[in-house]
Structure 1
């Protein structure tokens, strides 16, 4: 039979061994956690996904904006060409209405009703005095009839008697995810901007008003350019 002192010594040794085993197990767990790589892929995925989504959105937005810009430019050229080919000098309202119908297919899939369009007959007289001789539409457009200094006259038209068609198109661009951006950002309107396209086009139809004067077309309810104005 063991003495009390022996039993106490055995109990102390047992407790010491239990403590050592516990410390060893804890240290091993810590080392195994530090050496484990099972969660790295998940962490990298969580960090990279927002960046990848931002890149995908940026590319999509750039392509969409470039396509929108090209369509606005194509519409201005199309309307200028259609107007310049009018077989008679005076263009009827029905003809201009038909020409304007080109906006929907040219701008598709963008909403053509958001475009501001104006077609003008421009005349250049002596001293390069430039006039908006007639314009359509006459209200709600970008220009009014009369002398102007805001038309950028191409070099080949900078001469007395020059006549040409000026087609101007303006159209607002809205981001692909405008609703989401407006909710996430207080100043989302910074992502909205307006494309402006101005195309000067030679007259291919119409008729001349006199010697030395280019052929011209006259917008609905308008009048020919007066070569005497300066």
Structure 2
């Protein structure tokens, strides 16, 4: 019996000193964690890049529209097409963009839609919340008349490559941009630019 215990003790000591296979065990334990970190980094960094492009699309849409005196359906289509090109090399299919002109009522300081075109156009006359800093006021804190804003809204469904860290179904990234018309007080839609800017 003592010989058996002696053999067990010798085997245990030898096993404790034997370091063969330790690297393989450590590798097997670390690889899953490293893979999750690798693919998670890829997904998150791609998401950050897409978010930046969504911001650029919103600014470009607003900027292109505000440089015009008047726009029609063909102009809006061209603006959208040019903006979607910014998304390359990411697919532009998941992008949703809307461009609107807002009129700020001097009596109420409420911004209302004059016209709206794109993926989800807003109803004419519907109110839009805008940052208070965009509303021009005089020295007596009264809202100045004839204020218009070009307002762009962009959203994009970003679907991660792997989806271990981010939602596999995708994450909606969105941004907005405001610019003031540059040529006239407003940007006319499908009407002569000689017409007065609408205020309803």
**TM-score bin (small chain):** 0.7 to 0.9
2:134 aligned to which of 150, 156, 177? 156
Cα distance between partner residues in 2 of 1:199 and 1:224? 25
Q: Contact between 1:129 and 1:147, CA under 8 Å: does it hold in 2?
A: no
Matches within 5 A, 1:181-196: 188-189=168-169, 192-196=170-174
Flag structure 1 segments of 5+ consecutive residues without an equivalent: 1-18, 182-186, 208-214
Matches within 5 A, 1:1-230: 27-86=9-68, 89-127=69-107, 128-137=109-118, 140-148=119-127, 150-158=128-136, 159=143, 160-178=145-163, 188-189=168-169, 192-205=170-183, 207=184, 215-220=185-190, 225-227=197-199, 229=200
| Alpha-carbon offset, residue 103 of structure 1 | 2.7
Cα distance change, pair 27–156 in 1 and its aligned pair in 2 (3 A): closer
Choose between structure 1 and 2: higher helix proportion. 1
Cα distance between partner residues in 2 of 1:100 and 1:142? 13
Instruction: Give the TM-score of the pair, scaled to structure 1.
Output: 0.71
Cα distance between partner residues in 1 of 2:19 and 2:50? 47
Instruction: Give the TM-score of the pair, scaled to structure 2.
Output: 0.81
Cα distance between partner residues in 1 of 2:103 and 2:150? 9
Flag structure 2 segments of 5+ consecutive residues without an equivalent: 137-142
Q: Which has the larger radius of gyration?
A: 1
Choose between structure 1 and 2: higher strand proportion. 2
Aligned residues, how many?
Answer: 188
RMSD: 2.6
